[in-house]
Amino acid sequence: MDDVQPMTLRFRCPRELETVLPRPIPAILGLPDWFKAMPQKAFNPTMGAEAQTVKKCPPFIDAMTYGFLMPLPVDLEVRDGEFTWSFDAPKGFVSEYSHSPIGFHDASQVEGSPFFDDDRFIIKFNNFWTIEAPPGYSVLITHPVNRADLPFTTLTGLVDCDTFHDTPVNFPARWHDTAFNGVLPKGTPVAQCLPVKRESWTGQFEAFSADETERLIKARQAIGQETDVYRRHFRVPKR
């Protein structure tokens, strides 16, 4: 088993908010209740037998548990499309920061994209944490992975957080559940931060060799005859 050497993402916030804000958390600590409750096996009517669910799929789990989750800083209430919250900025709070947990982008900023609705703003989750990555690393900021249960979809961006880390990166999102009425609790993940090492890539394309064909056949046979083949023989530790 490989010895994983931990890297560090540094999160900083104004001193006045240090005891007020929920902290970003390792994504492994933020698995949703539905994932914890779902079974590892379920009856597959197509096959006529029990089959493993995605709870037993290492790539699905690794994606959900990689990096850090950025939390909503306060309770956010949504009623008939109107957003309300309570957030009293502490005395001395730096004026350069937004005093609101949420903002908006005009729809024109995404015109021509699948995110566009002419009668709907793109919301913006205001972030109060700066993010500093090690030299040579960017941070892929995206919707919390596999979280289709959330009433919004955070747009994806790649930020060079090794050089750009003196001001927070905010998280634009499309609010897709227009029927949602309720409260998004403080701490709800609004974005997932995935460190990515910057490297230049090219593609190489070729047909299988005889040896590669043989390995393919053996791998497919093993997967068909055993369980957890990927986890036991190929999965690399992430932490």
Total count of domains within the chain: 1
Q: Which candidate, 26, 127, 123, places its Cα nearest to that of 72?
A: 127
Instruction: Give the pLDDT confidence score for residue 2 in this predicted structure.
Output: 57
DSSP 115: T
Instruction: Give the pLDDT confidence score for residue 64 in this predicted structure.
Output: 97
Instruction: Give the pLDDT confidence score for residue 105 in this predicted structure.
Output: 87
The answer to whether position 156 is within a domain reads yes
For residue 70, give both structure tokens.
């950025």
The answer to whether position 2 is within a domain reads no
182-238 pLDDT tens trace: 999 999 999 999 999 999 999 999 999 999 999 999 999 998 888 888 988 888 888
The answer to whether position 136 is within a domain reads yes
Please count the other Cβ atoms lying within 10 Å of the Cβ belonging to residue 193: 25
The answer to whether position 179 is within a domain reads yes
Instruction: Give the pLDDT confidence score for residue 226 in this predicted structure.
Output: 83
The answer to whether position 1 is within a domain reads no
Alpha helix ranges (H) inside the chain: 33-37, 58-65, 210-225, 229-233
Instruction: Give the pLDDT confidence score for residue 1 in this predicted structure.
Output: 46
The answer to whether position 4 is within a domain reads no
pTM for the predicted model, two decimal places: 0.90
Q: Which candidate, 129, 213, 210, 192, places its Cα nearest to that of 166?
A: 129
* Domain CATH for 132: 2.70.40.10
Extract the residue ranges of the chain whose pLDDT is less than 70.
1-4, 89-96
Q: Which candidate, 175, 171, 115, places its Cα nearest to that of 141?
A: 171
The answer to whether position 212 is within a domain reads yes
Instruction: Give the pLDDT confidence score for residue 92 in this predicted structure.
Output: 62
Instruction: Give the pLDDT confidence score for residue 87 in this predicted structure.
Output: 82
Contact between residue 138 and residue 196 where contact means Cβ atoms under 8 Å apart: yes
What single-letter amino acid sits at 34? W
Range of the domain at 111: 10-233
The answer to whether position 77 is within a domain reads yes
